[in-house]
Structure 1
Amino acid sequence: MNRTMKAVVKQDRARGAVLKEVPVPTCGAQEVLIKVKATSICGTDVHIYEWDEWSASRVKPPYVFGHEFSGEVVETGSLVKSVKVGDQVSAETHIVCGRCPQCMSGNAHICEKTEIIGVDRDGCFAEYVVLPEENIWQNEKSLPWDEASIQEPMGNAVHTVLAGETAGRTAAIIGCGPIGLMACAVAKAAGAAEVFAIDLNPYRLELAQSQGADYIVNPLENDPVQYIREKTGGRGVDIVCEMSGHPVAMNQGFKMATNGGRISILSLPVRPVEIDITNDIVFKGLTVQGITGRKMFQTWQQTAGLLRSDKMDAASIITHRFPLEDFEKGFDLMLDGKCGKVVLHP
C-alpha cells in the first residue's frame, strides 16, 4: 500500500481547506484501517470550512476533517476480533470513554469525554481513515456505498424524530437541510399523521415534499405558527423537530407546539436564544429534549432497518456526487442551499 494518501485538510485558522498528500493513518492494536469508498458533507463540516465562531473555538488545524463515510476494511489491529479485512463498514463517529457514568448507564451518546472524528481528531475526507473496533458498524453488502455513507446523519434524524411517540402524531420539521429532509422521510416512515416542513429555501422545500412532507411552509409567504394552527384545528403540532438553529424559527417552534407536545432540538444555535419559558413551556406542559448524536447502537439498528424497508428512499436524498478533488464544488452547493446530500468519492 502507498503510505501517503489524498486528503482534504483544514490547514489554517481561516476560511477554506486544501487537498494535499498526508500519511496514511497507522492502525493500532484495537483499531481498524478503512479504505473510504464514499464520504458525505455535513453541516458541521460547513461550519469548519467557513471557520465560524463555533469552529474557531473547537477545532485545531491542521488536520483532516469529515466524519460521514462508508468503506472497506483493509487492515485490522492485532487485538481486533469482530471485524475482518474485506468487511463493508461505516462507523459511529463519537469516540467515547466507556467508563463515565453516562457510558456505564447505557447513555454513551452523551459521554462527557466524547471525541468526534473530523472535529477533535483526523476524519474521513481522505482515502483512508482509522477507527476503534468498537465504533465500526457492519453494513450489508447489498447497501450501495453512497447510501451507506449517509447513515450517520440519518441517525441524527432518526434519533430526533423517534425520541418520543411518532405514529399517528402531527410533526413539524423546522429547517430542511439534509438532516431535516431525512427527518421528513423518517417521520412519514414511522407513521406520522401529517408532516409540516418549514424552510426559507424553495429548492429544499420541494425536496422536503419529495421526502413525504404533507405541507411545505415558507415563512416569507406564510406565518408558520398561524398556518399550522389553521391546519390543525387551532391545536398546534404534537412534535416539533428543530433543525434550523435560527432564534426566530426556534421561538416559532415553541409557539406552534400543542399543549403536552414535545420539542426535540438537534440544531446548534450560534448564539443564546431567548424563549418564553413561562408561557411556551411551563403552561403548555411541553417536553423539551436536546438531541446529540445517535444512541449507541440502538439508533444504528433503527436506521439500518429503515434502509432495508421500502418506506424510505435514501438514494433520493443524495443530489450531487463529486470526486474528492472537487470538494470545493460540494461546499459551494451546501453554502448556496441548492442540494440535498453531497457525496464525495476519494
Structure 2
Amino acid sequence: MLDQIPEKMQAVVCHGPEDYRLEEVAVPRPGPGEALVRVEAVGICASDLKCYHGAAKFWGDENRPAWAETMVIPGHEFVGKVVAVDEAATRRWDIAVGDRVVSEQIVPCWECRYCKRGEYHMCAPHDLYGFKRRTPGAMASYMVYPAAALVHRVSPDIPAHHAAFTEPLSCSLHAVERARITFEDVVVVAGCGPIGLGMVAGARAKNPMHVVALDMAPAKLDLAARCGADRVINIAEEDPGAIIRELTDGYGADVYLEATGHPSAVPQGLNLLRKLGRYVEYGVFGSDVSVDWSIISDDKELDVLGAHLGPYCWPAAIRMIESGVLPMDEICSHQLPLAEFQKGLDLVAKGTESVKVSLIPQ
C-alpha cells in the first residue's frame, strides 16, 4: 500500500511567529503500530491563531513557554481516511484501510501518574498534534497517528468538515460534564463560538430547566437557539443579570459555562450565579484576570472548575454530529483549500464573519 503513496505533499509549516509557509515536504511513513491517514479536513482553532501570533507575544510574558515548536505542521482538529495500517494498529483501534477516522488531540504517554489513573487528558509529558515536532498536525495532505494515540471511527456519510468538528465538540461536552447539570438547573453559556455552541447543545442534552446563551453577535445567538438555547441574550443590548434574576426568582443561575476567554466574562459569571452555584472555565485568556474572590468564598461558596480537552467525550460528540441534531452547515461556516491557510487564519482572527473555518487539503 505504501508504494502507492506519493513521496511529497503540500503542508503548512511553522517557521516562527506569523511565519507560516506552504511547502512541499516528505509524506510521513508510519512505524510499527501506527497508521498513515490521508487528511480530509482540518479546523482552525483559536489556539492555532494564538500559536501563529507566537505564544509569548500573545500572552505578553516572555517567561511563559511557547505552545508550538518551529518546523512543526499545525492542526489538531481533523479527520482523514486510513491509507496504511499494520496488524497491531488494526487490532488496537479496530480500524482498516479505507475507514474514516479521527484522533484525539492529545497523545498520552500512558505511563505517568495521570495516565495510570485514567486521567490521560492531563498526561504530564504528553504530545499534542500540531504543537510538537514528534506529532505533526493535519494542515497537510497526510499525517501519522502514533501508536499511543486514541482513535475513533466516524461515518463516511457526513461531510469531512463536519467530522473534523468532533474535537471542539468533545471539549464542549467535557465542560458540560464538569458542570454536573441537573433537571432543575438554569444553565448560562457565555460565548457562542464553536466551543460555546457545543456547550449549548451538550447542556440541552442534559435537559435542564433553561439553557441561556450570551453573546453580542445576533447571527451567533440565532445559531445558539438552533443548538438548544431556549433564551438568548445580546449582552450589548440587554442586561443578563436582570433576565437571569427573573428566570430564577431572584436567586441566580445554577451553572455558568465560560467559553469566550474574555476577562469581562469572569466577573459576569460570578455575579450571575446563585449561592452554591457552579462555574466552569474553558476559555483561554490573553491577559491576567482579577476578580473579587470574596464572591467565590464568603458571599456564595461557589464551585469553580476548569475544563481541558475532551476526555471520554469523543464517542458522544461523534454520535451528536452524525445524528443531524446540530446545524452543522451553519456552524462549519467556511471551507478553504490548504493553500488559503492565511485567509483562514485571518477569518478566525477577525471573528465576525465566521464560526468554524476548515482547510481542505485534497
Shared fold (TM-score greater than 0.5)? yes
Aligned mates of 2:237, 2:86 — CA distance in 1: 57
Q: 1:3 aligns with which of 7, 28, 31?
A: 7
* Cα displacement string for residues 136-177 of structure 1 (whole angstroms, at most 9, x for unaligned residues): 111233343221111011001111112233242211111222
Q: What is the rounded CA distance, in whole Å, between the counterparts of 2:205 and 2:150 in structure 1? A: 27
Among candidates 301, 315, 326, match of residue 301 of structure 1: 315
Which residue, out of 53, 61, 69, partners 1:60?
69
Tell me the CA shift for residue 125 of structure 1.
0.7
For 1:214 and 1:325, the matched residues in 2 are separated by 40
TM alignment of 1:28-47, pairs within 5 A: 28-47=31-50
Q: Conserved in 2, the CA contact under 8 Å of 1:182 and 1:317?
A: no
Does 2:124 correspond to 1:112?
yes
CA distance in 1, matches of 2:204, 2:150: 29
- 1:159: which partner in 2? 174
- Secondary structure in 2 aligned to 1:7? strand
CA distance in 1, matches of 2:221, 2:68: 32
Cα deviation for residue 185 of structure 1 reads 2.0
- 2: CA distance between counterparts of 1:193 and 1:310? 23
The 8 Å contact of residues 189 and 312 in structure 1, kept in 2 or not, is answered as no
Q: Give 1:172's aligned residue.
A: 188
Task: Please say if residues 75 and 85 of structure 1, whose CA atoms lie closer than 8 Å, have aligned partners that are also in contact.
Answer: yes
Question: Residues 199 and 67 (structure 1 numbering): CA distance in 2 closer, same or farther, change over 3 Å?
Answer: same
Deviations 1:96-117 (A, max 9, x none): 1101111111111111122211
The answer for the alignment partner of 2:82 in structure 1 is 73
Counterpart in the other structure of 1:137: 152
Q: Equivalent of 1:272, from 276, 288, 291?
A: 288
Q: C-alpha separation between the residues in 1 aligned to 2:6 and 2:323?
A: 39
Secondary structure of the 1:335 match is: helix
1:261 is displaced (CA, Å) by 1.7
Of 285, 288, 292, 2:304 maps to: 288
Q: Where in structure 1 are there 5+ consecutive unaligned residues? A: none
Contact in 2 for aligned 1:322/1:345 (Cα 8 Å): yes
The alignment status of 1:342 with 2:346, answered yes or no, reads no
In 1, the alpha carbon distance for the partners of 2:213 and 2:150 equals 33
Deviation at 1:74, TM superposition (A): 0.8
C-alpha distance after superposition, 1:189-241 (max 9, x if no partner): 33132222222333323332332322332333234333322333211111111
Aligned sequence identity (%): 33
1:260 aligns with 2:264: no
* Structure 1 residues 339 and 9: alpha-carbon distance in aligned structure 2, compared to 1, 3 A threshold: same
Contact 1:207/1:340 (<8 A) preserved: no
Change (3 A) 1:309 1:193: farther
What is the alpha-carbon distance in structure 2 between the residues aligned to residue 198 and residue 281 of structure 1?
25
Segments of structure 2 that go 5 or more residues without pairing to the other structure are none
Paired letter, 1:11: H
Q: Point out 4+ residue stretches in structure 1 off by more than 6 angstroms.
A: none
Is this contact kept in 2: 1:31–1:131, CA < 8 A?
yes
Which of 191, 201, 226 is the equivalent residue of 2:217?
201
- Which moved further from structure 2: 1-10 or 222-231? 222-231
Q: What SS is found at the alignment partner of 2:277?
A: strand
**Aligned residue identity for 1:197:** A
Structure-1 residue corresponding to 2:198? 182
Please report the RMSD computed on the Cα atoms of aligned residues, expressed in angstroms: 2.1
- Match for residue 321 of structure 1? 335
Inter-partner Cα distance in structure 2 for 1:67 and 1:86: 21
Q: In the aligned structure 2, how far is the partner of 1:325 from the partner of 1:314?
A: 24
Q: State the partner residue of 1:148.
A: 163
Cα distance in 1, alignment partners of residues 241 and 7 from structure 2: 56
TM-score scaled by structure 1? 0.92
* 3-state DSSP of counterpart to 2:90: coil
